[in-house]
Amino acid sequence: MTVFSPEVRIRPGSGPATLLPSLPPLSVYVHVPWCVRKCPYCDFNSHEAPAELPENEYLDALQADLEQTLPLVWGRQVISVFIGGGTPSLLSAQALDRMLALLRSHLNLLPDAEITLEANPGASEASRFMDFAHSGVNRISLGIQSFNDEALKALGRIHDSQQARQAIEAAMKAVDRVNLDVMYALPGQTPAQSEQDILQAMSYETEHLSLYHLTLEPNTVFAKYPPVLPNDDDSAAMQDRLIELTASRGWNQYEISAYSKRGGHSRHNLNYWEFGDYIGIGPGAHGKLSFHDRIIRTATTRSPAQWMQNAIKRDGSHYAHNARVTPKDLPFEFMLNVLRLKEGVPAQYFQERTGVPLANILPVIKRNIEKGLLASDPVRIRTTDLGWRFLNDLQEAFLPDEGS
């Protein structure tokens, strides 16, 4: 078997060598591209499922995709797996079992690795959650969005609030670790309705909540036919209120949209935000991998059919992108992630994970400490409350200079 190595495609002359003293933790993202129906606000790589999912074809391609990535991560331990989508809960118990067996047989999965599966309450039978848990899933992330039937209808969701509640109960029975995704600033939503949604979400005492401001993404039905959304004042009031409510009930907002209890942060997402490494397999999946002298980013073809066709050729043709990150872009890429975290990261991560000396960005750091956007902390890189409010400006301060 010829194993394609993305290394051979890296263009020479893409900047000076990056020297990493050690490699960061490694995670795995698996993309499942199908949903019952496409939601009008969604720009994820998700496609309406055919009458019968091509599960075997998908898993054969997934195996081929993984096997072509393996030479890049030989021997490394994997701390987490995230099976996202799309709607992975559409997969049969047998398919999910085969997927996890594949990951276990090919990778060095830590015995206590976090294994998350994303689920839609409209595709969430309780028995299937139990089967998923028996296969090794230990965390379920549910796309609740709202507990209000009108809002769910306006969002084009395939489930109502009762199904949302049933799915939460089923998920909490199957696994200890559950996340609920809830969105706010929904079409026609009032601040009081948003508050009700947050109160209900908190009442289940899951260990994690992801609270997202609905955004109008280009190339979605909502971008073409915009619904009537709350005005800026109302959506800012909703955001302030949910921050207040979660804090008053002991939730830890550790990232812009992520809230945890009992130390239940998402280890997988935390690894992204701490500029860790990840393999991305499945259609349209992204990866970031470090080597002692460079960092590469990969992305696979978005079309499920094309990805399946190309992955099994095992010639690398399923990659849409595969290139080294130039060292001049690394400070911005690092800051784009770590500044999202309330507590930031240890300062030494910068050099350890980018290979760029911290001294190179000290003038920018100092300038932003003076502006009150970065904390004056010798051992951590972290924002102040003000910096969090003007996060885009702060992140952009680390963009490479024109012409550098």
Ligand X SMILES: C[S@@+](CC[C@H](N)C(=O)[O-])C[C@H]1O[C@@H](n2cnc3c(N)ncnc32)[C@H](O)[C@@H]1O
Q: Which spans of this chain sit near ligand SF4 (rule: CB under 6 A)? A: 35, 38-39, 42, 44, 46, 85-87, 120, 143
Residue 181 interacting entry, from ligand X, ligand SF4, none, C-beta within 5 to 8 Å by type: ligand X
How many helices (H) and strands (E) the chain has is answered by: 15, 16
Instruction: Using the minimum distance from each CB to ligand SF4, give the nearer residue, 144 or 338.
Output: 144
Binding residue for ligand X (CB under 6 A) from 214, 270, 295, 397? Answer: 214
Instruction: Using the minimum distance from each CB to ligand SF4, give the nearer residue, 86 or 187.
Output: 86
Instruction: Using the minimum distance from each CB to ligand SF4, give the nearer residue, 39 or 78.
Output: 39
Instruction: Using the minimum distance from each CB to ligand X, give the nearer residue, 264 or 344.
Output: 264
Residues 241, 191: contact at Cβ < 8 Å? yes
Please report, as residue ranges, which positions from 235 to 274 form the binding site for ligand X (by CB under 6 A): none
Structural tokens at position 295: 């960092």
Binding residue for ligand X (CB under 6 A) from 20, 23, 42, 223? Answer: 42
Residues 263, 206: contact at Cβ < 8 Å? no
Residues 184, 208: contact at Cβ < 8 Å? no
Q: How far is the CB of 82 from ligand X (least distance, A)?
A: 10
Q: How far is the CB of 203 from ligand SF4 (least distance, A)?
A: 23
- Residue 172 touching ligand X (CB under 6 A): no
- Residue 197 touching ligand X (CB under 6 A): no
- Residue 187 touching ligand X (CB under 6 A): no
From residue 123, how far is each of 138, 152, 182, 400 by CA, in Å? 18, 15, 17, 45
Residue 228 CB burial class (10 angstroms; 0-12, 13-18, ≥19) = exposed
Q: How far is the CB of 350 from ligand SF4 (least distance, A)?
A: 34
Alpha carbons 100 and 115: distance in angstroms, whole number: 9
- Residue 206 touching ligand X (CB under 6 A): no
- Residue 186 touching ligand X (CB under 6 A): no
Residue 212 interacting entry, from ligand X, ligand SF4, none, C-beta within 5 to 8 Å by type: ligand X
Residue 38 interacting entry, from ligand X, ligand SF4, none, C-beta within 5 to 8 Å by type: ligand SF4
Q: How far is the CB of 303 from ligand SF4 (least distance, A)?
A: 16
Alpha-carbon dihedral sign for residues 14, 17, 18, 23: positive
233-242 b/e with 16+ CB inside 10 Å = b? eebebbbebb
Instruction: Using the minimum distance from each CB to ligand SF4, give the nearer residue, 136 or 143.
Output: 143
Alpha carbons 352 and 275: distance in angstroms, whole number: 10
- Residue 120 touching ligand X (CB under 6 A): yes
Residues 397, 383: contact at Cβ < 8 Å? no
Structural tokens at position 104: 């276990």
SS3 71: helix
Q: How far is the CB of 165 from ligand X (least distance, A)?
A: 14
Residue 287 interacting entry, from ligand SF4, ligand X, none, C-beta within 5 to 8 Å by type: none
Alpha carbons 125 and 128: distance in angstroms, whole number: 5
Chain residues that interact with ligand X, rule: CB under 6 A:
41-42, 44, 84-85, 87, 118, 120, 143, 145, 181, 183, 212, 214-215, 217
